[in-house]
Amino acid sequence: MIEMIDIGMDDAIAYRIEGKITEEEMKTILAIFRKKIKKNEKLIIYQEVISIGGAEFDAMIEKFKFFLAFGLSHFSRIAVVTHKKWIHKLVDLEGKLFKSVEMRGFPKEDKDHAIEFLKNG
């Protein structure tokens, strides 16, 4: 399930992931991404991960098609907030691999630091 949330930043796309991601949920998020890209806005993403229960195959196809079409060039900053330490390590590694995007993982109790990171880069 993907649920849109408010973190007090108008220019950020903020959502919470819990359980399995459906194709429809993936399409909804990607439509928001496309809308900002169409307006030539950089994507600032706040992602809060409660649990990961996988994703429907068609949801992953949608995500794959999006990245084939747009790549990472439209992303500015990504903060992933979760209590799962392995996700922090993965996000930090991705941040080193994809240098054009500032990515950081944050523990759940550091949500305020994640938001500051998104605001100030």
- Listing DSSP states for 47-66 in one string gives EEEEEEEEE-HHHHHHHHHH
Task: Please tell me the distance from the alpha carbon of residue 102 to that of residue 81, in angstroms, as a whole number.
Answer: 14
For the chain, the residue count is 121
The domain of 97 spans: 2-120
- The whole-number pLDDT of residue 96 equals 85
At 52-108, the pLDDT tens digits run 888 888 988 898 899 889 888 899 999 999 999 888 888 888 888 888 899 999 999
Confidence tier at 121 by pLDDT (50, 70, 90): low
17-15-69-56 Cα dihedral, nearest 10 degrees: 20
When divided into structural domains, the chain yields a total of 1
CATH number for the domain spanning 78: value is 3.30.750
Q: Give percent of the chain above pLDDT 90.
A: 67
Stretch 102-116: mean pLDDT, rounded? 95
Mean pLDDT of the chain: 92
Taking the model in full, what pTM does it have?
A: 0.90
